[in-house]
Amino acid sequence: MNPKFSVEIPWPLQQEIVEFALNPDNEKYFSLNKTSPTRKGCIISNFPELPISHRIQTFAISAYKSIGVDSFIPEHVFGNFIGVNLEGGFVHEHRDPRNEKGFTHTRFNFLLQKPEQGGNPVIDGIEYPMDEGQGWLNLASEWMHGSTLVVGQRERVVLSLGAYIHPGLVKSLVDKMEAQ
């Protein structure tokens, strides 16, 4: 299986998100992770008044469409999320719940800024090296997932686009990942 997709985030949007995430003036939009002081995140979907939130939502729709997901229910807990891992930070391995209708919790992730070392996604115990700007699909309710430890002073910045997709679409997505 290869969860990487050749969907690219437009360079201006990638830069805008990284600048937003690392700007100290925007700390008010971020929360420290409950399990680690070296991780913070912004549920950008919770701030529809910010122009960047609208641009991310527009990109989310087109990104999912590009892999054959024409309709989805926005994921309601973390929505579209900007995650920042500092040195020593990592995403602990976990699985997310499906929604109340049994739809698959899916996250289309993009590594916007790669740390000096580490920060790669881990899915069902397999590490997937990523390049900066690369995207990967995570069937978050189906797979154990996390990330490797960030090493160095350069932060890991990830855009994570959350959606609930109909279980009938999952097979075609897995088939695409297995064919790559």
The confidence score (pLDDT) of residue 56 equals: 98
Q: Which residues contact 106 (CB under 8 A, 6 or more apart)?
A: 69, 72, 75, 137, 138, 139, 140, 141, 162, 163, 164, 165
Question: 112 near 157, Cβ under 8 Å?
Answer: yes
The confidence score (pLDDT) of residue 95 equals: 96
The confidence score (pLDDT) of residue 72 equals: 96
Assigned token pair, 45: 């979907």
Phi-psi region of 35 (alpha: psi -120 to 50; beta: other; left: phi over 0): alpha
The confidence score (pLDDT) of residue 114 equals: 97
Secondary structure class of 4 (helix, strand, coil): strand
- Report the C-alpha gap between 89 and 158 in whole angstroms: 13
pLDDT lower than 70: segments of the chain: none
Q: Which of 118, 144, 142, 139 shows the shortest CA–CA distance to 130?
A: 118
- Report the C-alpha gap between 46 and 76 in whole angstroms: 10
